[in-house]
Amino acid sequence: MPRYHYTARTAGRIALQEGTLEAFSRREALHVLQIRGLQVARLHEAGTATRPATDAAAAPADVRLTAKLRLPFLEALADLVNAGLSAGEAVRLLARRLQEPRLRALCTALWTRLGEGSPLSQALAAHPAVFDRQTVNLVAAGEATGNLREVLARLIRHLTEQRELRQQFLSTLAYPAFICGLGGAVVLFLVFFLVPRLETLLGSLGGHLPLSTRLLVYGSRCLLYAGPVLAVLLALGAALFLRWWRTPAGRNRCDAWLLRLPLVRDFVVQAAILDFTHTLAVLIENGVNTAEALRLTERAVANTRVQQILHVAADQVIEGASLCTALSRTALVPPLFLDRLAVGEQTGHLAPSLRQIAQSYQADLSRRLHTVTRLASGTVLFLTFGFVAFLAYAIVSALFQVSASFRL
């Protein structure tokens, strides 16, 4: 019977213990250790190194795993772990019970690696398209300290807050986008359908058209003949711009431009600070040291220019500077943020301070976003109604002038 070496810890303890046992397979050895109440960190057959799983075992070839599966998987895993199961048993049960094909394929791939002796963090790291480095490091910290249940709860709360913020942002933009689309459709209908027929009618009646009607007719002609060409040029320009923007140099240049725009800069900076504080608070709460937490946090910020600024600040923290001092040198963070952060560092409550700052920034960003969307939708409605009023005036004035010429 094969002999297996294992490294594991008793539930609720940090210290690791090593030992050997005999079993017919790795899965049976893992099952025996779990029955003994041990959380396995490493398991391999005597005389061989730990056998890493191949990439082919990551997931079925016909199933595409994306980051959308991360939160549902963590929520299902946390439910079973809170019920008293170990992480390995929870993943095994999910692989058998789940009905959603992609989520079940993910759990099956994770259980394959767990069955070969890999810890949960290494199994998650084998799927970078689903689990980012931040999630993997948090789970590894939870395994190292024996607080996986608390880590999962905080991670789920963080991901849920991010999802709700994205949904709030999209729902806020839905109404202005609808108004813009409706206004554009009305203008195009009037210009391409109604005005040409109006021109034909007025031409058949004869007479001299007023200035407003002539401007409307000439504008419609220009759009009818030049519109397709302009549409093609705009589509080509947008495609070329997106291709350039996807390059590292193009993305960096565009992000730098956003920080120079007067109104857009405030939104970009506030969104970056919100992501920064949310992510950093979660990492520090789960035992990740400040320097490593900053390295992970800078990747969570969308703007690449802000990432570079935070990278410089992280270097200064590693060299011994306080977080507040390092951020004050970036000229990016407002003074009030720095004062609240300094209080958190001095009192030893950095993570709660970061969460309070994130909540205030989220509320302020939501208020600003609502204000901007109301202004944008109001402006579109005003322009659309103004164009319709101008069209009505042009038609009525033309009819009055034509009828007057008939009376003469």
Q: How confident is the model at residue 326 (pLDDT cuts 50, 70, 90)?
A: confident
- What's residue 57's pLDDT? 41
Identify the sign of the CA torsion 290, 292, 294, 296: negative
Assigned domain for 118 exists:
no
Token readout for 132 is 């980012």
What average pLDDT does range 165-176 have in this prediction?
Answer: 77
Span 158-180, mean pLDDT? Answer: 79
218 assigned to some structural domain: yes
Q: Is residue 283 domain-resident?
A: yes
Model confidence at 11: pLDDT above 70 = no
Q: How far apart are CA 70 and CA 151, in angstroms?
A: 15
In 11-85, where do the E strands start and end?
17-22, 38-45
- Check residue 231 and give its pLDDT: 85
* Run of H or E residues at 327: helix 323-328
CA distances (Å), 313 to each of 120, 219, 309, 341, in order?
32, 55, 6, 14
Average pLDDT over residues 226-247: 89
Q: Cα separation of 21 and 4, whole Å?
A: 5
Q: Is a pLDDT exceeding 60 seen at residue 361?
A: yes
pLDDT value at residue 47: 59
| Residue 356 within a domain | yes
Q: What is the pLDDT of residues 52-67, one digit of tens each?
A: 333 334 444 446 888 8
Do 150 and 142 meet the contact criterion of CB atoms below 8 Å apart?
A: yes
Backbone angles phi, psi at 118, to 5 degrees: -75, 145
Other C-beta atoms lying within 10 Å of the C-beta of residue 148: 24
CATH assignment at residue 216: 1.20.81.30
Confidence (pLDDT) at 282 = 81
DSSP symbol at 210: P
**Tokens 């789960």 label which residue?**
286
Average confidence (pLDDT) over 371-380:
81
Average pLDDT estimate for 95-117: 86
* Rounded CA separation 326/328 (Å): 6
H-helix segments, 36-147: 70-82, 87-97, 101-115, 120-125, 133-145
Measuring CA to CA, how many Å separate 369 from each of 202, 333, 362, 364?
46, 20, 10, 9
In the predicted model, what is the mean pLDDT of the chain?
79
Distance CA 361, CA 355 (A): 10
* Residue 108: closest CA among 95, 97, 124: 95
Find the distance separating the first CA and the last CA of the chain, reported in whole Å: 115
Provide mean pLDDT across the span 6-17: 66
pLDDT digit string, tens, across residues 336-360: 888 888 888 888 888 888 888 888 8
Residue spans of alpha helices (H) in 146-289: 148-189, 195-205, 211-245, 248-258, 262-285
In a domain, 154, yes or no: no
Helix (H) or strand (E) holding 3: strand 3-10
Q: What is the mean pLDDT of residues 249-272?
A: 85
249/392 same-domain check: yes
CA distance 205 to 185: 29
Lowest mean pLDDT among 35-49, 72-86, 162-176, 323-337: 35-49
Is the separation of the CB atoms in 133 and 296 below 8 Å?
yes
pLDDT per position as a tens digit, 296-320: 787 778 788 888 888 888 888 888 8
Of 327, 287, 325, 196, give the one whose Cα is nearest residue 14: 287
Mean pLDDT of 276-298: 79
The Cα 169–Cα 393 span in angstroms is 39
> How many domains is the chain partitioned into structurally?
2
Looking at residue 206, its pLDDT comes to 61
Provide the pLDDT for residue 32.
Answer: 77
Average pLDDT over residues 231-245: 91
Residue 69 within any structural domain of the chain: no
The Cα 391–Cα 216 span in angstroms is 7
- Decide: helix, strand or coil at residue 42: strand
Which two tokens mark 374? Answer: 């109301």
Q: How confident is the model at residue 205 (pLDDT cuts 50, 70, 90)?
A: low
Percent of the chain whose predicted confidence (pLDDT) is above 90? 5
Question: Which tokens go with 309?
Answer: 């600024």
For residue 326, the enclosing domain spans 182-408
**50 pLDDT more than 60:** no
User: What is the model's pLDDT at position 53?
Assistant: 37
- For residue 369, tell me if it sits in a domain: yes
Mean pLDDT in residue range 371-391:
81
d(CA 273, CA 298): 10
Residue 235 has pLDDT above 70, yes or no: yes
**Per-residue pLDDT reduced to its tens digit, 111-145:** 888 877 778 888 898 888 888 887 887 888 777 76
Is the pLDDT score of 239 beyond 90?
A: yes
Residue 123 counted as domain residue? no
User: Can you tell me the distance from the alpha carbon of 300 to that of 274, in angstroms, rounded to the nearest whole number?
Assistant: 10
Single out the residue of 22, 12, 16, 74 nearest to residue 40, CA to CA.
Answer: 16
pLDDT band for position 186 (50/70/90)? confident
For the cut 50, the answer to whether the pLDDT of residue 364 exceeds it is: yes
Contact 16, 7 (CB under 8 A): yes
The answer to whether the beta carbons of residues 134 and 298 sit under 8 Å apart is no
What pTM, to 2 d.p., does this model score?
Answer: 0.62
Confidence of residue 240 (pLDDT cuts 50, 70, 90): very high
Cβ proximity of 123 and 142 under 8 Å: no
pLDDT at 87: 85
14-18, 167-171, 228-232, 384-388: range with lowest mean pLDDT? 14-18
Angle, nearest 10°, between helix axes 26-35 and 87-97?
Answer: 120
User: For residues 74 and 106, is the Cβ–Cβ distance under 8 A?
Assistant: no
